[in-house]
Amino acid sequence: MSELRTIQQTHSFQSKSTLQQQLHTLEITPGDNIIVHSSLKSMGWIAGGAQAVVEALMETITQNGTIVMPAQSADNSDPSNWMLPPVPEMWHEPIRQSVPAYDPYLTHLRGMGKIAECFHRHPAVIRSPHPAHSFMAWGRHAEEWMAEHPIQDSFGMTSPLGKMFDANVKIVMIGVDYDTCTALHLSEYLAPGLTASPDGAAIMRNGERVWATYDMAHLDSDVFPELVEMFEKVNPEVSIEGLLGQATCKIVPMKPMVEFGTGWIAEKRKLNAVTGE
């Protein structure tokens, strides 16, 4: 969508100040811990764009809280697994040998959106060390939650998600649906029956670039909307919904959703084992 069309479809002037007012209405307050998933284009035209959104979040949460965003760089992975798009098989080994090693400052974010890209550039933001499935954070718990992120545990209990599990975290989805809700991958890790297959990534080890191999879990975010539909039926008062900019914004508590999701996915895996799906 062109900027002119975005302006034409924006119903009133929007700025950092108007976003802060909306965040207050959505019960986002100083000291909150939040995971943010976002689509800037869904919010309409905002004076200052992504920077205004990031600053509105930071000034609302304050340093007493923590803002977390996924910072995935999934193209630092084994090219034999790439489907969107695939690359010629003859390129696979040259890619493994030549793709730059993960760098928390330089490695780009893939498919995370303009707000996350802006957040990544803030000098006080800390990014976790996973080469493909990192997170980034600012605020009170940023250093603690991002300090370690084992390559074999993208979304499990030793990942940033696991460290956040008991911290009263709110998931904030701005103009996006539950299929973007990375926290639900923790449910997939916690539910019995998780399977994995070989993957790899370029990392720095002892001062040298190496291609590291590890087992990556099989994940399926396509089931998240169905999972959450059932979660909300069982817990009808659990979420808060309103507008941020012009985007629909939904806020849900992380821990109860992940706990429900763990049981739901466990039952689905049992059923799939019986039916052979």
pLDDT of 275 higher than 80: no
Mean pLDDT of the 238-249 span? 95
- Residue ranges of domains in the chain: 3-275
Least confident range from 120-124, 231-235, 239-243, 272-276: namely: 272-276
**pLDDT tens per residue, range 195-234:** 999 999 999 999 999 999 999 999 999 999 999 999 999 9
In sequence order, what DSSP letters do the residues of 150-219 get, joined into one string? Answer: -TT-SSSTTSHHHHHTTS-EEEEEES--GGG-TTHHHHHHHSTT--EEEEEEEEEETTEEEEEEEEEE--
pLDDT of 245 higher than 80: yes
Model confidence at 32, in pLDDT bands (50, 70, 90)?
very high
**pLDDT tens per residue, range 64-111:** 999 999 999 989 999 999 888 899 999 999 999 999 999 999 999 999
Indicate the SS3 state at residue 37. strand
Model confidence at 3, in pLDDT bands (50, 70, 90)?
confident
pLDDT of 276 higher than 70: no
Least confident range from 41-50, 67-76, 267-276: namely: 267-276
Whole-model pTM: value is: 0.94
pLDDT for res 30: 98
